[in-house]
Each structure stands twice: as C-alpha cells, then as structure tokens.
Amino acid sequence: MPRFHWKGRSAAGQEIEGDTSAASKDAVVAQLRGRGIMVTTISTTGDAEGEASGSGVPPPPDDAPPLSVSERLARDGASSKPRPFRGALVASGFFVGALVLGYFVPVTFVRCERAAGSVTCTLSEKDLGLFTVRQQSLSGVTKVDVESRKQRLAEGNQSRLVLASAAGTSIRPSGWDHFGGPVRSYSGGRQTGESEPTVGATTEAMRREIAAFLEDPTSASVSSWQGQKVPLWIAGGITGIGLLILGLSTLALFKGPTDLIYAMTARLAAAADASRRQRGR
C-alpha cells in the first residue's frame, strides 16, 4: 500500500505533518479531514509493508476532552460534502416567493397610440415588471380619470387609473396603488419629510400625461408605468437572498474555495474560543 507524507493545519491552526498509508491521496485527505486536519501538501514516499495505525496522527483517546467550537466546526465542515442541489432548491424557494409577491402587486404599464384619429390604449400588469400576468386593450379612448377608495387598515385613500371610451366601456388595473398619497417619514418623533409610495409615475401623474396626449391630436403615442415601492423592495430583497444562496451553492462545487471558507471560519471560531477562555480566567 502506498505511503504518503503530508503537511496540514489542525483545527486550532497549528501546522503539523506526518506519514500515512492509504490506497490513494484522496483517501489520506479523507482520513485527516475526519480528524479535523486540513491537508495543505501531500506527496508519495513509497510503499508501507506494515503500518498498523494507517496514519501518522493517532486518533484521540477515549477520555479526551470535548472539542471546542472551532475544532467541531473544522471537523464537521471538512468532512461534510457540498450539497449544491439542496442550495439550488432553497434559492428557488426564494425566487418563487418573490414571483408570488410580484403577482399580487404587479408593475402597471400603460401605452396609448393614435392611429386614424382614434386612440387605443393597452394596460399591462407584469410580475416584477418582467412577466405579463394580465393585459387589457381599449379602442376609441376619449377620457382618462382616477377613482379612489378609502383604505381599510390605514389612513388616506388608494387610487387607480381608469381609461374610458366614447362607447362607455372602460379598463383599469386590477389593484390599487399602495397608499394613494405621500408617505410621511419621521425621526425622533418629528416629521422630516414625505415621499411617494410608488416608483415610476404616480397615479395622478399618469392621468395628467394621458390627458395631455388625448388633447393633443399631433401626438402619436404616450407610455407610462407605476410600481409599488414597498412590495418591490421586499421582492428585490428576497431575490437577492436567493441569488446569494445560489452563488454560495455554486461555489461549493469547487474544492479550493470551499476549503478556504472552512479554514477562515475555523480561524474565526478559534479566535472566539480564545477570547472566551481569557474572559473566563
């Protein structure tokens, strides 16, 4: 059986070396990882005819003290196998959550075009502004208005755009804007300012733009969009977490970066253990 000389670092950060007989270098690395040793270099030294222990590092005695946090972290992290598919599954859960939120609070797009003296408007609602979930079109649009309703659980009114034709038909978004008015910001119990709850155009700004377009027969088209700030922030945060998990799962496929992360984590845990021991004196 081949014999290998190796150098490595213990969970406490000490540099150690030894000789081990095993079927391959990978087998040696696996044995040492099980003891919390990170191998840095390994080379073949020859054949071992009779090595009882099979490792240059003796196993811990039965009455050995329990491992510290850093030692357990290095041992468990080094011996664990990367599970990229599990990480991808978790990340997909975050992506689905963002899509579900975006479905119920979509971004609204309105585009009106004039052709042969008639105005046709298309109102599209898109999940996260990317995937169309609802779309309505109306020909012969002659009027644009805003309808409002009082909020159920907060002060103020909500509003949404209404496009109407000369025939009396109309289209409107399926949902209402988030608050329907400015959001007050406070600091130390005092109001410091106001900000709109929407990104893009407010409902009133969209009404003004389309009304100006209807009154100007020389204009060929107008378009506007509106998203709700708070839901989009939440959806963006959820998507960001999913991307982070997916990136870390992909990184786990490569041995070098994974070992580096385990080593850095073990050093930080060892420093925390040392600090706790000093405080306990």
Q: What is the pLDDT of residue 167?
A: 92
Q: Which residue has the tokens 């898109």?
A: 126
pLDDT over threshold 70, residue 132: yes
Can you give the residue ranges of every domain in the chain? 2-82+253-280, 110-221
pLDDT classification of 140: cutoffs 50, 70, 90: very high
- 279 vs 217, residue with greater confidence: 217
- 92 vs 156, residue with greater confidence: 92
Q: Which of 229, 185, 224, 193 shows the shortest CA–CA distance to 208? A: 224
Q: Where are the beta strands (DSSP E) in 31-89?
A: 38-47
- 114 vs 4, residue with greater confidence: 114
Q: What is the pLDDT of residue 47?
A: 61
257 membership: H or E segment, kind and range: helix 255-280
Task: State the average pLDDT for the chain.
Answer: 80
Q: How far apart are CA 42 and CA 29, in angstroms?
A: 9
Q: Which of 235, 214, 255, 257 shows the shortest CA–CA distance to 81? A: 255
- 152 vs 176, residue with greater confidence: 176
Q: How far apart are CA 75 and CA 270, in angstroms?
A: 13
Q: What is the pLDDT of residue 54?
A: 41
Q: How far apart are CA 83 and CA 81, in angstroms?
A: 6
pLDDT in tens, 54-97: 444 444 444 445 555 445 545 555 445 555 578 888 999 999 99
Query: 125 burial class (0-12, 13-18, 19+ CB within 10 angstroms)?
Result: buried
Mean pLDDT along residues 167-182: 80
- 186 vs 20, residue with greater confidence: 20
Mean pLDDT along residues 160-164: 95
pLDDT over threshold 50, residue 53: no
Mean pLDDT along residues 200-227: 93
Q: Which of 222, 33, 187, 215 shows the shortest CA–CA distance to 112? A: 222
pLDDT classification of 269: cutoffs 50, 70, 90: confident
Q: How far apart are CA 135 and CA 125, in angstroms?
A: 6
pLDDT classification of 180: cutoffs 50, 70, 90: very low
pLDDT in tens, 95-126: 999 999 999 999 999 999 999 889 999 999 99
Q: How far apart are CA 120 and CA 112, in angstroms?
A: 6
Strand order in the sheet with 198-200: 131-139, 118-127, 107-115, 221-228, 198-200
Q: Percentage of the chain with pLDDT > 70? A: 76
Residues contacting 109, CB < 8 A, separation 6+: 123, 124, 125, 126, 223, 224, 225
Bridge pairing between strands 118-127 and 107-115: antiparallel
- Token pair for residue 200? 């893009």
Q: What is the CA radius of gyration of the chain?
A: 32
pLDDT over threshold 60, residue 245: yes
Question: What three-state secondary structure class fits 201?
Answer: coil
